[in-house]
Amino acid sequence: MLSIDADHDRERDGGRGRGWLGRCGRTLVQLVGSPNSSFREVEEPVAHARVLVFLSTLRLPLWIAAIAWATGVWLFDAGPHELARPSVIGEIVGAQFADVLRLWLLLLVPIGLPLLYFFGGVLAHSGMALTGGARRSIGATMRAFGLALAPALLVVGLLDLLVIGAGVEPEIWIVGVSVGVISTLLLSTVALARTHTTSLVRGFLVALLPVAFFASVCLGRGLLEFYRLPFQAAPEIEHYAPYPIE
């Protein structure tokens, strides 16, 4: 059983905050080191709130740091009237709209996390049902996919911080995203297969769709952050209109 599912751990550790953080750490280590045993037992009805709090514990601290860093850059470096900057999507839809979309997506990370959990679980459960039937509830499928996202959420959070704070190159970013997507695919394969007591081949095929959804979200964010594609030269800018200065 995962540590976040064990209520007695909080009492044993003595202290709610310290106990919860300790359980989150042990759960993450167990997910990475022993994925088979992590998903063999599923208590139903599934405690979705507990899983979401676990994922938020991993993702939101880095998000808060990224928001604080972005705010500092906006106020002290670029200036409050110079937000727009070149990006791959910005060259298609316009720099101002792309920059607003980039900031909007960054601010909505706390809302996007449960949406990713929900829609990823729905896609995985639909695939499981269409390939021979699901042996457990849709809640169990959401739990499996959500927990499989845990390591990747740490990677994505760190990449957000590096892109905003250090301006890393797109090559470094794409390597990090690839690590997150591959880890999610591998963990989702095991998670879905063990949760529904089926083969790893079927788990892999079912995991492809929700993982593709997760990868598309990550790639969309990247195209809003970078002006050039990884391993490609930056195109020349013929005309670029920043926000008007009032």
Question: What does the H/E/C string look like for 168-222?
Answer: CCHHHHHHHHHHHHHHHHHHHHHHHHHHCCCCHHHHHHHHHHHHHHHHHHHHHHH
Q: 7-16, 39-48, 73-82: which range is least confident on average?
A: 7-16
Angle between the N-to-C axes of helices 138-148 and 48-72, in degrees from 0 to 180, rounded to the nearest 10: 40
Cβ contacts of 85 within 8 Å, gap of 6 or more: 95, 99, 227, 242
Summarised one tens digit per residue, pLDDT across range 112-155 is 999 999 999 999 999 999 998 889 999 999 999 999 999 999 99
Summarised one tens digit per residue, pLDDT across range 154-203 is 999 999 999 988 888 999 999 999 999 999 999 999 999 999 999 999 99
Mean pLDDT of 209-219: 96
Mean pLDDT of 201-217: 97
Q: In this predicted structure, what is the pLDDT of residue 245?
A: 44
Per the document, the length of the chain is 246
Q: Is the pLDDT of residue 8 over 70?
A: no
Q: In this predicted structure, what is the pLDDT of residue 225?
A: 84
> What does the domain layout of the chain look like in residue ranges?
1-33, 47-225
Q: In this predicted structure, what is the pLDDT of residue 142?
A: 97
Burial of 232 (0-12, 13-18, 19+ CB in 10 A): exposed
Q: Which tokens is 209 given?
A: 């769709």
Q: In this predicted structure, what is the pLDDT of residue 167?
A: 81
Q: In this predicted structure, what is the pLDDT of residue 16?
A: 47
Q: In this predicted structure, what is the pLDDT of residue 240?
A: 47
Q: In this predicted structure, what is the pLDDT of residue 7?
A: 55
Q: Is the pLDDT of residue 41 over 90?
A: no
Mean pLDDT of 217-232: 86
Output the CA torsion sign for 111, 114, 120, 126: negative
Q: Is the pLDDT of residue 15 over 70?
A: no
